Amino acid sequence: MDKEFNNTDIIRILQQYKNKRNQEYNKYHSVLKNDPDFKMKNTERSKEYYINNKDIIKVKNQDKKDLNNAKSLLRYYKKNNILHLFKMKHEDKLKLVEHLL
């Protein structure tokens, strides 16, 4: 599909997308969120997903464990104004969170 889009087409497409997302947001927050049937089905779907993907979820959590631990330590050292000690004691963790400094 090699169709060229001009500015008006792009604006129209983006506006349609915005309207659709806004409509879905409003539907969820006004109707579905409070519907007990929807809540039950959603809970069942999430349980089924968790059961089917336990191994993947465990691997993701294990991968994030080191990063979360480093972030926690960084917050502690920042809160207590001893960031220089974090840089000295935890050089390996500093590499994980240096983009947050």
Domain segments of the chain: what residues?
A: 11-52, 62-101
Distances (CA, A) of 5 to 12, 13, 15, 17, 18: 10, 10, 14, 16, 18
Rounded distance between C-alpha atoms, residue 42 and residue 86, angstroms: 43
Distances (CA, A) of 20 to 6, 24, 57: 21, 6, 31
Answer with the residue of higher pLDDT: 1 or 8.
8
pTM for this model (two decimals): 0.53
End-to-end Cα, the chain, rounded Å: 45
User: Confidence class of residue 1 from pLDDT cuts 50, 70 and 90?
Assistant: low
Residue 28, both tokens? 């969820």
16-34 pLDDT per residue, tens? 999 999 999 999 999 999 9
